[in-house]
């Protein structure tokens, strides 16, 4: 984005999202080093092409969602589909939570003040969070 000369304002206008959402997405993307993919054969990928498509689709629906949240959600869906009893479901959720990277948890916690502020400002009306 930056090397192509695009500003956060321009990207936000293109995808109809706030500059803050674009900036947060960009910061997480660079922090998680997903931009370091190699091109050509044998390239290093953090996500599959299928996961990339899901991330883009979900990001348009909810601009506050992060790649890590989407991946955790997909992993949970795979684990839940094999659960036939409530106890199995409880164990699957606990296992996923126990293996969730601390960075993901920290990002969720850090996003809470913005979410609460948006809800208060909207006066219980709709928000982007």
CA distances from residue 11 to 39, 76, 83 in whole angstroms, order as listed: 24, 31, 41
The angle subtended at Cα 117 by Cα 6 and Cα 17, nearest 5°, is 25
Backbone angles phi, psi at 99, to 5 degrees: -100, 5
* Residue 4, pLDDT score: 62
* Residue 36, pLDDT score: 47
Residues sharing a CB contact under 8 Å with residue 30, sequence separation 6 or more, in sequence order: none
Quick one: which of 60, 28, 33, 58 has its CA closest to 45?
A: 33
CA distances from residue 100 to 72, 106, 126 in whole angstroms, order as listed: 8, 11, 29
Q: Are 11 and 21 in contact (CB under 8 A)?
A: no
* Residue 35, pLDDT score: 47
Quick one: which of 65, 68, 59 has its CA closest to 103?
A: 68
Q: What is the pLDDT along the chain (129 residues), one digit of tens a residue?
A: 555 667 777 777 777 777 777 777 777 776 665 544 445 555 556 667 777 777 777 777 777 777 667 777 776 676 667 777 888 888 877 887 788 778 777 877 787 787 777 777 877 676 665
Asked whether the whole model's pTM tops 0.75, one would answer: no
């Amino acid at each position: 984005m930056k090397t192509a000369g695009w500003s956060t304002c321009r990207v936000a206008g293109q995808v109809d999202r706030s500059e803050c959402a674009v900036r947060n997405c960009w910061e997480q993307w660079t922090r998680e080093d997903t931009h370091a993919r190699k091109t050509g054969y044998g390239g290093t990928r953090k996500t599959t092409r299928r996961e990339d498509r899901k991330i883009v689709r979900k990001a348009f629906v909810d601009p506050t969602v992060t790649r890590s949240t989407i991946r955790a959600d997909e992993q949970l869906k795979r684990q839940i589909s094999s659960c036939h009893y409530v106890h199995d479901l409880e164990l699957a959720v606990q296992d996923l939570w126990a293996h969730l990277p601390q960075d993901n948890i920290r990002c969720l916690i850090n996003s809470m003040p913005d979410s609460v502020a948006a809800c208060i400002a909207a006066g219980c009306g709709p928000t982007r969070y």
